[in-house]
Amino acid sequence: MIESLFSKNAVNNLRNSFKASAAGNRWFWNSVFGFFGLTTRAAENHLEKCSDSESPSLSILFIGNSFTYYDNMPLHFSKLAKLRFPNKEFKVYFQAGPGMFLGQHTEDERTMNTLMKSGKWDYVVLQDQSGAALRPLPTMTMKSNLKWFDKRIKQIHGKTALFMTWSDLDQPQDQVPISKGYREAAQELKAILIPAGELFLEVSQKSPEITLYDEDRHHPGHYGAFLVACLAEAILLHTHDELLDIANKRKNGHIPPLQDPFEQKLLEYADECAIREKSGTQ
């Protein structure tokens, strides 16, 4: 997008300059991408409390945009966590606004208050705008913003998790750069990765009868949001061995299935993906 406006040499010079001082130029590049239409007004950024507890076993905060809040994905996460851990209490919030980039969240007092002044967060799940990892310059900005958040998450003794976005239904090839950007960022930060985009593509190809996308072929529909919630729950709340044990119990009929057969299938897909991710065979 932005690269088409400059010569190849100019783009390379900009990229090298960014690498040399990414942290110092984070605000500048957020402004540049905003000027070229890559950001939107964050006036609707709001906080939603999906589950609350004065003494939770775990506290999870999701920060993102409509990819996070469509069909109230964090609420699905909260309900599934309670189903699989009935004796634990969870605090699950999300802070999100339509079309928001992480760069906008860094400059939004509401997001900062939720992150830094709303008690302890065990996990903070970061989701950038869906096009942020599609091209080199926006990807570098995304990484810089992720690093900015990671520093503050560590200050509150939390763990950073990256919510990998997915390509549009009609553009599956876009998943390659999206995955690359998020996997590189996770490795650089030593952060937890929730590979939702890769699982979206896998399920779309293996089980096309399950409609993951909304009618716009971009946002998640009900089943897409449920799939993401299942994967986040499996990645964040279970060890590799625990997931293997769940799979064995499910196979032997010791765990009752969910009422909705599609939701049950998606839960199994998510657990399998999490097992691969945790074993390094993804």
Which H/E stretch holds residue 245? helix 240-251
Within 10 A of 147 (CB to CB), how many other CB atoms are there? 17
Q: What is the pLDDT of residues 184-232, one digit of tens each?
A: 999 999 999 999 999 999 999 999 999 999 999 999 999 999 999 999 9
% of the chain at pLDDT higher than 70: 84
Q: What is the pLDDT of residues 79-102, one digit of tens each?
A: 999 999 999 999 999 999 999 999
Helix (H, G, I), strand (E, B) or coil at 107: coil
Contacts (Cβ under 8 Å, ≥6 apart) of 88: 56, 57, 58, 81, 82
The reported pLDDT for the residue numbered 99 is 92
Least confident of 34-38, 105-109, 216-220: 34-38
Distance of alpha carbon 260 from alpha carbon 137, whole angstroms: 42
Average pLDDT over residues 52-80: 97
Question: Is 18 or 216 the better-scoring residue by pLDDT?
Answer: 216
Least confident of 25-39, 116-130, 235-249: 25-39
In the predicted structure, residue 4 carries a pLDDT above the cut 80: no
Average pLDDT over residues 255-277: 98
Single-letter amino acid, residue 226: F
The residue extents of the domains of the chain are 39-279
Q: Report residue 196 CA to chain centroid gap.
A: 7
The reported pLDDT for the residue numbered 44 is 84
Average pLDDT for the chain = 89
CB 160, CB 124: distance < 8 Å: yes
CB 223, CB 213: distance < 8 Å: no
Helix (H, G, I), strand (E, B) or coil at 282: coil
Structure tokens of 99?
A: 């079309």
pLDDT band at 21 (very low <50, low <70, confident <90, very high): very low
In the predicted structure, residue 108 carries a pLDDT above the cut 50: yes
Average pLDDT over residues 18-41: 46
Which fold does the domain 39-279 belong to in CATH?
A: Rossmann fold (3.40.50)
Q: Report residue 207 CA to chain centroid gap.
A: 22
CB 192, CB 248: distance < 8 Å: no
CB 141, CB 30: distance < 8 Å: yes
Q: What pTM was estimated for this model as a whole? A: 0.86
**What spatial distance separates the first Cα and last Cα of the chain, rounded to whole Å?**
30
Nearest CA-CA partner of 220 in 207, 232, 211: 211
In the predicted structure, residue 8 carries a pLDDT above the cut 60: no
Nearest CA-CA partner of 236 in 4, 16, 35, 80: 80
pLDDT band at 54 (very low <50, low <70, confident <90, very high): confident
